[in-house]
Amino acid sequence: MLMMLLLLMMLLLLLMLLLLMLLMLLMMMMVVMVLLLLLQHSHTHHHQTLQQQQQIQQQQQQQQIQQQQQQQQQQQLQQDQKQQQQQQQQQQKPRLLC
């Protein structure tokens, strides 16, 4: 009888140990899953920020190009105005009749 009781206790102990190991395994799997999710999230976030930086750079380049074009237009306008003024001045000079 005592031997049977002892055997039963041993089996119970083994069963509990097995359950404990299973629980540990599950916990490890959970930790790995969470780490993987975090890693994936940080990677996608990093990718998004890279895309945003590229978009910002493109916008800045476009703005620079527009500014250059505006400057060129202004310079052309100023040159045109100068030419017009010169033409007007030449027209306004009294012509000498020989």
Is the pLDDT confidence value at 97 over 70? no
- In this structure, the dihedral spanned by the alpha carbons of residues 27, 28, 31 and 35, taken in order and rounded to 10 degrees, is -160
Average pLDDT over residues 60-70: 94
Q: What does the pLDDT look like over 13-53, one tens digit per residue? A: 999 999 999 999 999 999 999 999 999 888 787 788 888 99
Instruction: Provide the CA 20 distance to its chain's centre, in angstroms.
Output: 44
Confidence band of 88 (pLDDT split at 50, 70, 90): confident
**pTM score, whole prediction:** 0.44
